[in-house]
Chain A
Amino acid sequence: MSDEKKYIKGDKLKALYDQTLLCTSCGYCKSVCPAFKGTLWDHNTARSKMVLAYGLLQGDIPVDDSVVQSIFECTTCGDCMRRCPSNVKTVDVLMAARQELAGLHEVPETMELALENIEKFGNPQGEPASAREEFLPDEAKAKLRTGGDVLVFLGCVASNTDMKVTSAIFKILERAGVSYTTLGEKEPCCGFLNYLAGYESDAFGKSLLEQIETLNPRPKMVVTPCPGCYRTLHHIYPESGVDLGLDSRHILEFFDELIEKGDLIVTKKLEGNVLYHDPCDLGRHAEMYDEPRKLLSHFAEVKEFKFNREQSHCCGGGGGLQSTNYDISSSMAKARLTEANELEGDFIVSACPACKSMFSNAASDFKKETGKKFKVRDLVEIVHKNTKGRES
């Protein structure tokens, strides 16, 4: 960053100025904030983000690397907002602060790399677009961009990092006889990371819409295994004026429907203690708590973490923190596994490729350190392994 001091414009934060004054600095949010627990620095707490937002708005402080880092040292898990007794819209404030920073092209360097990848390759991982279809099962390859009732939007994380989940999705859909299609290399990034970095994501929505318009027959529904994509498609695009013209759902809702209709038949139950972990983007941000539990209950008696549903602890993978501070984010995953261990959990099931990846990494460390082995699974994998179609 150059020596010249930069100050925010204030156009994004101004509307939330009142929220920064509403914060009494009571510190309750410190007790839940994983960014604070992970670092024990006050400038990483939700409370301090309110203080910093106020300081930025008042022009008390310039934007420098330390401010950028504090505003981004956060998984946007939203637990502060749940805990806040003054109902301060903490996440709105910190997202507006990120937007102000983005207005000055200030994002943490590590996140910048992911954003550059999105611009160049269409995904944060920097994989070529063709990688999105390389590992698809043959049945899915045959349905690429053909049109169908249901559009499967895999999302970058699942497409590029979790072949098990992607392949399971299509196997399930085939098994249930669903008319589906998927975009493969034409699937754009949803832009959620850009949103998290404070940038607009509507351009990504528009590219998706363009792709949808090429499909014949036009799908009636888009389903995704990723809570971040789900939030973007379901909430963020409509808020920014992009109407995809179809129903957007998390894939777990759709799978549950297939079971209820009898298109999928449960073949066996899981053995052992099965804990469900609420992903922040699906839980606190989208308030989808009952649906995943209902789906999982077809396969197991669902055990709860001590902190579950609204109070669920973050896996550490949210808010882009994984790229900005891997140490804190992985310590969060480990803390969640410690909770699971106390409950003698065998399976840790989530409905988010990012949660699965965080927990899988943490689980291998956990095994080395304690000998305890967790089975970390996405709900999709549970459905895949334990159902059959009507005819079979």
Chain B
Amino acid sequence: MSEEMFKELQELLGENFTTSTAARYAYSSDASIYRAMPDAVARPMNTEEVSKIVKLANKYKVPITPRGAGTGLCGAAVPIKGGITLDMQAMNKIKSITPENLFCIVEPGVIYDHLNNELKSAGYQFPGSPGSAEAANIGGMVSLNASGMRAIKYGATRDYVLGLEVVLPTGEIMRVGTHTLKNSSGYQLEKLFVGSEGTLGIITEVTLKIVALPKAVAAALVSFDKVEKAGQAISNIIAHPIIPSSMEIMDNTCITAANRGIDAGLPDVPAILIIEVDGPIEEVGREIRQVEEVCKASGATHIIVSDDKAVYGLWHEARKSVLPALGGFSPDLKIVSLADDMGVPISRVADAVIGFKEISDRNKVIIATYGHASDGNLHTKFLIDPSKEDDWKRAEKAVEEIYDLVLSLDGTVTGEHGVGMAKAPYMKKERATAIKTMKAIKDALDPNNIMNPGKMFEWESDHIIMNLRYPAEVNFDE
């Protein structure tokens, strides 16, 4: 960054602009495996400031990487080409909640849980429910099209974005979408920014659809002696038809981790499903009984049903704790975020889980599988010694095999966490026929390629293990 630009930014932002060692290092990583230091961190307070910063970056052709809470798992917020990290967390106002319009308007730095706490008092919710709900920002969620365990019934973030205010890579402020529940007025550009991972512009305001909170909830904790049977139960429930509000699968590695991590008291079996239904009271009672019957018929070994929030809340907490709690699974091994959220057709969940286990055994890497079984979105977490080059290499081989399997099952390399760097080469395979169009859109909006460059289809390597935030040099050229 030139001296001139530095001065201009400092004048514009004062204390909200820093090139300090601590800030640059702290902002060099997110929850992914990567590290790259920005040259500076800037924290805008409003759209005008964002626009001014972007204009400067465009003028001096300096990369900008927007950042929310930095909980992304694919390195989308890691500034791989340096430049400015734009911390959006201070733009955190809930501008309005209007249940009578069925939407709310928020700044991008609003934390998911904070928004839902406010919505709750009006009897409403934004039901994305990511595992990172207590930290993740709405801007980050929109940019990754995040979702969570309730996607089968409630959809993903994209289904809630009615409108956006965006600062384009030229600094121009654009409004897309509307303050209405429907619109057919031209290209649905607001959807273009959903999942754009900060590569097309900076979201400065989001109009989000909201839905009423359910009147009642009940859940079942179901044990299986074989993963296949859990998979069968999932398909049988959907085919019944029952559309649960969530249906989470955890394999034994995850169960053990949750039990150790938060003392969750889950049954020590090969696989469990945590199935939740919500809706009107009578319907919930009927549906949870149906769930029980279908699970029994599918070979469940044990079922606990509860409509007590304290009980099923703990099951959800246990599921939520899996990712971080896997970290404590074994003293020598650490959890790293690789192949973290593949999507497959619901009927192929069991094939995928079994396939992942084979890949894990073949490559001698511990791979834990869990996820949103009801919408076919599976997470794996890898446990490796992150200081060993060989562990990383075996892990990358397993990652490749997992994505090949997923694509052969007609799936996607990412259901909700995004591409960033961790899935870039595989996304290029999956979207082979769309890459040209994606590039054309990017070139049209961002001619100087300042917005979060080097990611997604711009990723140049066939490998993903590089720029690690772990103590290993991994060299693929030997």
Binding site for B on A (CB under 8 A): 18, 21-28, 30-31, 40-43, 45, 48, 51-52, 54-55, 58, 60-62, 64-67, 69-70, 84-88
Query: For the complex, what is the distance from the CA of A70 to the CA of B27, rounded to whole Å?
Result: 13
User: What residue of chain A has the Cβ atom nearest to residue B23's Cβ?
Assistant: A43
Contact B21 A86 (CB under 8 A): no
Contact B30 A64 (CB under 8 A): no
Query: B365 CB to closest chain A CB, in angstroms?
Result: 17
Interface members, chain B 39-93 (any A CB < 8 Å):
43, 69-71, 87, 89-90, 92
Query: B21 CB to closest chain A CB, in angstroms?
Result: 5
Contact A25 B90 (CB under 8 A): no
Question: Does any Cβ of A come within 8 Å of B321's Cβ?
Answer: yes
User: When A28-B135, A42-B87 are in contact, do A22 and B334 touch as well, CB less than 8 Å?
Assistant: yes
Partner of A43, one of B22, B134, B324: B22
User: When A25-B29, A85-B262 are in contact, do A41 and B70 touch as well, CB less than 8 Å?
Assistant: no
Q: Which chain A residues lie closer than 8 Å to B323 at the CB level? A: 24, 26
Question: Does any Cβ of A come within 8 Å of B467's Cβ?
Answer: no
Q: Which chain B residues lie closer than 8 Å to A28 at the CB level? A: 132, 134-135, 324
Partner of B132, one of A27, A40, A43, A87: A27
Query: For the complex, what is the distance from the CA of A200 to the CA of B332, rounded to whole Å?
Result: 31
Q: Which chain A residues lie closer than 8 Å to B27 at the CB level? A: 42-43
Query: B12 CB to closest chain A CB, in angstroms?
Result: 18
Q: Which chain B residues lie closer than 8 Å to A22 at the CB level? A: 327-328, 334
Contact A21 B334 (CB under 8 A): yes
Contact A61 B31 (CB under 8 A): no
Query: For the complex, what is the distance from the CA of A31 to the CA of B469, rounded to whole Å?
Result: 23
User: What residue of chain B has the Cβ atom nearest to residue A23's Cβ?
Assistant: B327
Q: Which chain A residues lie closer than 8 Å to B326 at the CB level? A: 24
Query: For the complex, what is the distance from the CA of A55 to the CA of B37, rounded to whole Å?
Result: 12
Contact A66 B20 (CB under 8 A): yes
Query: For the complex, what is the distance from the CA of A60 to the CA of B337, rounded to whole Å?
Result: 22
Question: Does any Cβ of A come within 8 Å of B26's Cβ?
Answer: yes
Query: A19 CB to closest chain B CB, in angstroms?
Result: 10
Partner of B25, one of A27, A31, A51, A65: A51
Closest 5 CB pairs of A and B: A66-B20, A43-B26, A86-B327, A48-B26, A31-B134
Contact A40 B92 (CB under 8 A): yes
Partner of A40, one of B29, B90, B328: B90
Query: For the complex, what is the distance from the CA of A55 to the CA of B28, rounded to whole Å?
Result: 11
Mark B1-35 against chain A: 1 for CB-CB distance below 8 A, else 0.
00000000000000000101111011111110000
Interface members, chain B 267-318 (any A CB < 8 Å):
none
Contact A27 B328 (CB under 8 A): no
Contact A55 B134 (CB under 8 A): no
Interface contacts beyond A42-B23, A64-B20, A87-B261: sample of 19 additional A-B pairs, CB < 8 Å, sorted by A: A21-B470, A23-B327, A24-B323, A25-B29, A26-B31, A26-B323, A27-B136, A28-B134, A30-B69, A30-B134, A31-B135, A41-B23, A43-B27, A51-B25, A52-B25, A55-B25, A66-B23, A67-B22, A85-B321
Query: A313 CB to closest chain B CB, in angstroms?
Result: 15
Question: Does any Cβ of A come within 8 Å of B411's Cβ?
Answer: no
Q: Which chain A residues lie closer than 8 Å to B139 at the CB level? A: none
Contact B325 A85 (CB under 8 A): yes
Partner of A64, one of B21, B92, B470: B21
Contact A24 B335 (CB under 8 A): yes
How many residue pairs between the two chains, A and B, have CB atoms under 8 Å in the bound complex? 113
Q: Which chain A residues lie closer than 8 Å to B21 at the CB level? A: 61-62, 64, 66-67
Query: B262 CB to closest chain A CB, in angstroms?
Result: 6
Query: For the complex, what is the distance from the CA of A31 to the CA of B324, rounded to whole Å?
Result: 15
Number of interface residues of B (CB under 8 A): 43
User: When A40-B90, A43-B26 are in contact, do A86 and B324 touch as well, CB less than 8 Å?
Assistant: yes
Q: Which chain B residues lie closer than 8 Å to A48 at the CB level? A: 22, 26
Question: Does any Cβ of A come within 8 Å of B386's Cβ?
Answer: yes
Q: Which chain B residues lie closer than 8 Å to A65 at the CB level? A: 20
User: What residue of chain B has the Cβ atom nearest to residue A17's Cβ?
Assistant: B471
User: What residue of chain B has the Cβ atom nearest to residue A64's Cβ?
Assistant: B21
Q: Which chain B residues lie closer than 8 Å to A25 at the CB level? A: 29-31, 70-71
User: When A42-B27, A43-B27, A61-B21 are in contact, do A30 and B135 touch as well, CB less than 8 Å?
Assistant: yes
Query: For the complex, what is the distance from the CA of A383 to the CA of B189, rounded to whole Å?
Result: 66
Query: A15 CB to closest chain B CB, in angstroms?
Result: 14
Q: Which chain B residues lie closer than 8 Å to A30 at the CB level? A: 69, 134-135
Contact A60 B327 (CB under 8 A): no
Question: Does any Cβ of A come within 8 Å of B190's Cβ?
Answer: no
Question: Does any Cβ of A come within 8 Å of B113's Cβ?
Answer: yes
Q: Which chain A residues lie closer than 8 Å to B134 at the CB level? A: 27-28, 30-31
Contact A86 B328 (CB under 8 A): yes
Query: Which residue among A55, A69, A86, A87 has the maximum number of chain B CB atoms within 10 Å of its CB?
Result: A86
Query: B454 CB to closest chain A CB, in angstroms?
Result: 21
Contact B334 A31 (CB under 8 A): no
Query: B379 CB to closest chain A CB, in angstroms?
Result: 13
User: When A86-B325, A86-B328 are in contact, do A70 and B135 touch as well, CB less than 8 Å?
Assistant: no
User: When A52-B25, A66-B20 are in contact, do A27 and B135 touch as well, CB less than 8 Å?
Assistant: yes
Query: For the complex, what is the distance from the CA of A31 to the CA of B89, rounded to whole Å?
Result: 13
Q: Which chain B residues lie closer than 8 Å to A54 at the CB level? A: 469
Query: Which residue among A23, A27, A40, A54 has the maximum number of chain B CB atoms within 10 Å of its CB?
Result: A27
What are some 21 contacts across the A-B interface (CB < 8 A)?
A: A22-B334, A24-B31, A26-B132, A27-B31, A27-B136, A28-B134, A28-B135, A28-B324, A31-B111, A40-B90, A42-B23, A43-B22, A43-B26, A43-B27, A51-B26, A64-B20, A66-B22, A66-B23, A84-B324, A85-B261, A86-B335
Query: For the complex, what is the distance from the CA of A67 to the CA of B20, rounded to whole Å?
Result: 8
Contact A42 B20 (CB under 8 A): no
User: What residue of chain B has the Cβ atom nearest to residue A57's Cβ?
Assistant: B471
Mark B457-474 against chain A: 1 for CB-CB distance below 8 A, else 0.
000000000000111000
Query: For the complex, what is the distance from the CA of A124 to the CA of B386, rounded to whole Å?
Result: 44
Query: B189 CB to closest chain A CB, in angstroms?
Result: 30
Q: Which chain A residues lie closer than 8 Å to B386 at the CB level? A: 21
Q: Which chain B residues lie closer than 8 Å to A40 at the CB level? A: 43, 89-90, 92
Q: Which chain A residues lie closer than 8 Å to B331 at the CB level? A: 18
User: What residue of chain A has the Cβ atom nearest to residue B131's Cβ?
Assistant: A26
User: What residue of chain A has the Cβ atom nearest to residue B90's Cβ?
Assistant: A40
Query: B141 CB to closest chain A CB, in angstroms?
Result: 13
Interface members, chain B 211-257 (any A CB < 8 Å):
none
Partner of B22, one of A23, A31, A70: A70
Q: Which chain B residues lie closer than 8 Å to A51 at the CB level? A: 25-26, 28-29, 469
User: What residue of chain A has the Cβ atom nearest to residue B31's Cβ?
Assistant: A25
User: What residue of chain B has the Cβ atom nearest to residue A70's Cβ?
Assistant: B22
Q: Which chain A residues lie closer than 8 Å to B335 at the CB level? A: 24, 86
Contact A61 B25 (CB under 8 A): yes
Query: For the complex, what is the distance from the CA of A58 to the CA of B69, rounded to whole Å?
Result: 25
Query: A366 CB to closest chain B CB, in angstroms?
Result: 22
